[in-house]
Chain A
Amino acid sequence: DAGVIQSPRHEVTEMGQEVTLRCKLISGHNSLFWYRQTMMRGLELLIYFNNNVPIDDSGMPEDRFSAKMPNASFSTLKIQPSEPRDSAVYFCASTRGGNQPQHFGDGTRLSIL
């Protein structure tokens, strides 16, 4: 079975550029989570969706960050404009809901120069 699929795996871009990260959920899962991981702050939840609806975006750091879920299986996380402090690994995870564990994608390593 295909797991959570994220793209790109790596992104290096200059500050000020728009960055779009993509995520495809596991088939049959209905909840999606975006996380950011850095050495200093560990794994932080940015936003999560249930059935395509954003439930909690309190972890989104600034208005420069936005996330959408246009359909049941796909989501994007955008950063515009990007800044060097946005450099991190961004993970997407999905679950069937309830108290089920989350399954993570491989992550996107983002470097903003």
Chain B
Amino acid sequence: RKEVEQDPGPFNVPEGATVAFNCTYSNSASQSFFWYRQDCRKEPKLLMSVYSSGNEDGRFTAQLNRASQYISLLIRDSKLSDSATYLCVVNREYGNKLVFGAGTILRVKS
């Protein structure tokens, strides 16, 4: 079993749609959680950190469920520019080493 698992997609949605991605992780000692975004032929970029209480940044909402060991990302009012691969990222234990999921592909179409 992979340490971080994501549905690879692709998710094909129309502009304005709401879309949600889930991610599961296997290490119950994980402390930090992030969503990164990666555009084609570009580097991964931090989208948002994920906090235990859940957090929102504009159209993006992240949730963490420690009991079930899953993380979610909700994107409201999808834009064409949201098309990218979304990477779920977890640290193994306290410290710097991050584990990246394989990513979920989102395609927003007009």
A residues near B, CB below 8 A?
Answer: 31, 33, 42-43, 45, 48, 50, 55-56, 91, 95, 97-99, 101-107
Contact = CB atoms under 8 A, between A and B. Distances in A.
Interface stretch (B14-22, B68-76, B97-105): B97-105
A13 to B, nearest CB: 20
A95 B36 CA distance: 15
B44 interface: yes
Contacts of A31: 96
A104 B44 contact: yes
A101 B46 contact: yes
B34 interface: yes
Closest 9 CB pairs of A and B: A99-B32, A104-B43, A43-B100, A42-B102, A101-B46, A31-B96, A101-B34, A107-B43, A104-B44
B46 A97 contact: no
24 contacts: A33-B96, A33-B98, A43-B44, A43-B100, A45-B97, A45-B98, A50-B96, A55-B96, A91-B43, A91-B44, A97-B96, A98-B94, A98-B96, A99-B32, A99-B91, A101-B34, A101-B46, A101-B89, A102-B46, A104-B44, A105-B43, A106-B43, A107-B42, A107-B43
Nearest to B101: A42
A101 B49 contact: yes
A67 to B, nearest CB: 15
Contacts of A103: 46
A50 B32 CA distance: 18
A50 B96 CA distance: 9
Nearest to A41: B102
Nearest to B32: A99
